[in-house]
């Protein structure tokens, strides 16, 4: 029986990297992102805060995606051996993720202005997390982490693949795609209009069902998009630009393919809603946005993710 010691050695090394990264993220969160709130008390005090824990979980998932991209998706396997370059890459991505998270918080502050949540407090990211213990905000934050880090890992900081600015365009393209998914989910998946958009549900109504549903869509589509980028093979054929010049903004077939996947998933979900309404007299849309049914939100997110996963498997 042969043992692949290289795998075990690399695991030990990158597990060490992972522990250091998590410690660094805790320090960054405590010093910068928590903005005056006591992170240690929120996590390990007499009344632990699950909303903050979910937000930290989103950061941990982002760190995991980041390490996975380095270990498994590096253009050249020799990059794994260049531990100094790996450390710099991780540090840069960590700082950028924290800065982008601050930008998201600032955007939400401008968006809500003086709006107040259901408890009467002015809506801010950290007020919802630390004071209101709003799990819906924590889940929405996890979605933003996944979108942000999915873009960052497309950026080849050291240009290992000799693609130049194409990886920067892919990074921006993933963020545009993530924003589009949030809009599409709010308009079509939550309600056929803009009344019950995701920000209202996650920050004002404290409805965790809605962002769980969004999480399923984002967690399904973004890996599929990465597969399209990596393989340059799309669901809908179009003129492809080969080589280093290829990126998301000059590949219309990629966007059309993603649009078809989102449409087919929406239709499949809609058929399920009709069947359940006819057979059980249960309106699943109302369960999601009116009754704030967390149980259905979890199942809805899982359903959406599983449907997209079928496309992902078929395109492999």
Per the prediction, the chain carries an average pLDDT of 86
In the block, tokens 């993603």 appear at 258
Predicted model pTM: 0.90
Q: Do residue 137 and residue 3 come from a single domain? A: yes
Q: Do residue 254 and residue 209 come from a single domain? A: yes
Among candidate residues 162, 192, 224, the one where a domain is terminated: 162
Number of structural domains in the chain: 2
Sequence-distant (≥ 6) Cβ neighbours of residue 54 within 8 angstroms: 135, 138, 139, 141, 142
Q: What is the pLDDT of residues 79-97, one digit of tens each?
A: 556 667 777 878 888 889 9
Q: What is the pLDDT of residues 187-238, one digit of tens each?
A: 888 765 566 688 888 898 889 999 999 999 999 999 999 988 888 778 777 6
Q: Do residue 17 and residue 78 come from a single domain? A: yes
**237 near 253, Cβ under 8 Å?**
yes
3-state SS of 29-45 is HHHHHCCCCCHHHHHHC
**261 near 308, Cβ under 8 Å?**
yes
Q: Do residue 16 and residue 79 come from a single domain? A: yes
Q: Do residue 222 and residue 98 come from a single domain? A: no
Among candidate residues 108, 131, 162, the one where a domain is terminated: 162
Q: Do residue 72 and residue 217 come from a single domain? A: no
The reported pLDDT for the residue numbered 295 is 93
Distance between CA atoms of residues 10 and 74, nearest Å: 14
Lowest-confidence region among 116-130, 261-275, 299-313: 116-130
Largest CA distance in the chain: 66
Q: Do residue 152 and residue 5 come from a single domain? A: yes
* Residues forming a β-bridge with 116: 122
**Mean pLDDT, residues 3-26:** 83
Q: Do residue 206 and residue 309 come from a single domain? A: yes
Domain enclosing residue 218, as ranges: 165-316
């Amino acid at each position: 029986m042969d043992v692949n010691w290289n795998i075990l050695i690399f695991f030990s090394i990158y597990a060490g990297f992972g522990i250091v990264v998590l410690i660094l993220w805790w320090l960054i969160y405590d010093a910068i992102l928590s903005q005056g709130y006591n992170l240690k008390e929120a996590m390990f005090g007499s009344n632990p805060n699950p909303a903050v824990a979910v937000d930290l979980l989103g950061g941990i998932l982002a760190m995991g995606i980041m390490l996975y991209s380095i270990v498994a998706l590096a253009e050249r396997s020799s990059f794994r051996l260049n531990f100094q370059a790996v450390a710099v890459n991780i540090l840069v991505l960590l700082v950028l993720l924290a800065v982008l998270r601050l930008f998201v918080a600032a955007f939400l502050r401008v968006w809500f202005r003086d709006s107040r949540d259901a408890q009467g407090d002015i809506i801010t990211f950290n007020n919802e997390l630390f004071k209101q213990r709003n799990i819906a905000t924590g889940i929405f934050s996890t979605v933003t982490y996944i979108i942000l880090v999915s873009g960052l890992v497309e950026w080849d900081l050291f240009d290992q693949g000799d693609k130049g600015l194409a990886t920067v365009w892919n990074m921006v393209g993933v963020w545009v795609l993530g924003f589009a998914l949030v809009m599409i989910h709010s308009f079509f998946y939550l309600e056929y209009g803009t009344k019950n958009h995701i920000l209202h549900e996650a920050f004002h109504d404290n409805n965790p069902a809605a962002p769980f549903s969004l999480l399923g869509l984002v967690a399904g589509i973004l890996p599929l998009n990465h597969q399209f980028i990596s393989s340059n093979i799309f669901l809908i054929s179009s003129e492809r630009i080969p080589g280093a010049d290829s990126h998301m903004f000059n590949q219309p077939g990629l966007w059309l393919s993603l649009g078809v996947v989102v449409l087919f998933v929406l239709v499949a979900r809609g058929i399920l809603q009709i069947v359940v309404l006819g057979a059980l007299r249960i309106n699943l849309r109302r369960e999601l946005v009116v009754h704030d049914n967390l149980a259905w939100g979890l199942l809805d997110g899982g359903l959406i993710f599983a449907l997209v996963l079928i496309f992902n498997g078929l395109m492999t």
